[in-house]
Amino acid sequence: MELLASAGVDGPSPIVSLFWIALIAVVAPVVARLLRGYLPDVVILLVAGAVLGPHVLGWAGPGGGVDLVSELGLGMLFLLAGYELDPQLLRGRSGHTAWLVWLVCLVFAFGIVMVATNRSTATGIAVAIALTSTALGTLLPILKQAGIVDSALGRAVMTHGAVGELGPIVAMSVLLTSRDVGSAVVIVLMFFVAAVLVGLIPVRMLDRMPDLGSALARLGGGTSQLPVRGVVLLLLVLMVLAEEFELDVVLGAFAAGMILRRLIAAGHPDVDASLEAIGYGLLIPVFFVVSGMGIDVAAVSGHPALWLWFVVTIALARGLPVWLSERFLPHGQNLASGRERVQLALYAATGLPIIVAVAQVATQTGLLSTEVASTLVAAGATTVLVFPLVARLIGQRGARTAAPAHE
């Protein structure tokens, strides 16, 4: 992502920029591990990118093709998010409740933005979408480390997180466009039909040509890596398709991940480990570091009240409705513990990747200034740093309190 223009001709060369990015990518998980996960590595990547980027030290920049690698990282991030999304989470009473809650969050956030800032309707919609997202892909490692993925709390986070990713992605494509809403909905539906047809092609080929599956397996290792190359092609096809429909490429990447999940669920070659290695090992760190380069540190430090307002509004607009729904809206799987309801609200209000994507679209279309976009991204990074940490501390305190009761 590039919130501001690329570094000029006098800026660092692309290879120098990639060197610093690679160094940050190596150091970030080590520091996060030394801090026992209290500081997520994605926050380290963003902060380091902001410090080394053109707004502070100027040692690295997004120019010379680095921004293209970052775009691929954005695509890979949302492909993996789409792959992790279990469609079952979007169904049933709990899934329907999560959708209703997210819509309430969106309307609530829009109202807060319009009343508090008196901005244009389009700008209010863009900010509201960003404020109501959930960073499920970022939360998954945190939930796994805490050992709660398979618990009632973990399932609730996964449900609200799935809706909190998919809902904003669709909303971006429908609402952040120059078309009227009706035309945008039709375009999105046409894209989904095209995506389904694209996804059916490999499924039908593998079903009708059994030898093709064994050939893929034989060419899955060594220098061929054909299944991985096929997935990368699938990603680019869906991103190009989204671009041709004048939609955000994030939607195409997410759709590619959902298609990939169906392919693997059908018993076809398992490539998720290789994709995670490519994504989290190279492309995704580049995306987050380059996103950090776009943060105008001076603008953020010059408007601390706006940064704090964004953080508090995210907690209120996203976290509060989730907490209220678990407390007062029965759906058959409500969390009984008040402590777990607070944890769920904090996890649901943790957002960053979609905030970055919305900030990118909003700055490109002139809906947000680079200063406000930088502050919004900084607020998203703050939620990743603070909200899961507070939720983890609440869980640990609850576990210590419950331990003596069982002794």
Q: What is the DSSP string of 240-300?
A: HHHHHTT--HHHHHHHHHHHHHHHHHTT----HHHHHHHIIIIIHHHHHHHHHHT--HHHH
| pLDDT tens for each residue of 235-257 | 888 888 888 887 778 888 888 88
Which domain CATH number covers 367?
A: 1.20.1530.20
What is residue 180's DSSP assignment? -
Whether the pLDDT of residue 170 is over 90: the answer is no
pLDDT for 314 equals: 95
Give residue 282's domain range.
Answer: 14-402
Closest to 132 measured CA to CA, from 163, 100, 175, 164 = 164
* Mean pLDDT value across the chain: 82
pLDDT band at 320 (very low <50, low <70, confident <90, very high): very high
Q: What gap in Å lies between CA 282 and CA 285, rounded to an integer?
A: 6
Burial (CB count <10 Å: 0-12, 13-18, 19+), residue 282: middle
Q: Tally the domains of the chain.
A: 1
Kindly state whether residue 20 falls inside one of the protein's structural domains: yes
Kindly state whether residue 265 falls inside one of the protein's structural domains: yes
Kindly state whether residue 2 falls inside one of the protein's structural domains: no
Mean pLDDT of 59-80: 86
| pLDDT tens for each residue of 78-125 | 888 788 777 777 778 888 999 999 999 999 999 999 988 777 888 888
Kindly state whether residue 176 falls inside one of the protein's structural domains: yes
Kindly state whether residue 302 falls inside one of the protein's structural domains: yes
pLDDT for 25 equals: 92
Cα 20 from chain centre: 24
Q: What gap in Å lies between CA 148 and CA 150, rounded to an integer?
A: 6
Kindly state whether residue 7 falls inside one of the protein's structural domains: no
Kindly state whether residue 132 falls inside one of the protein's structural domains: yes
Kindly state whether residue 8 falls inside one of the protein's structural domains: no
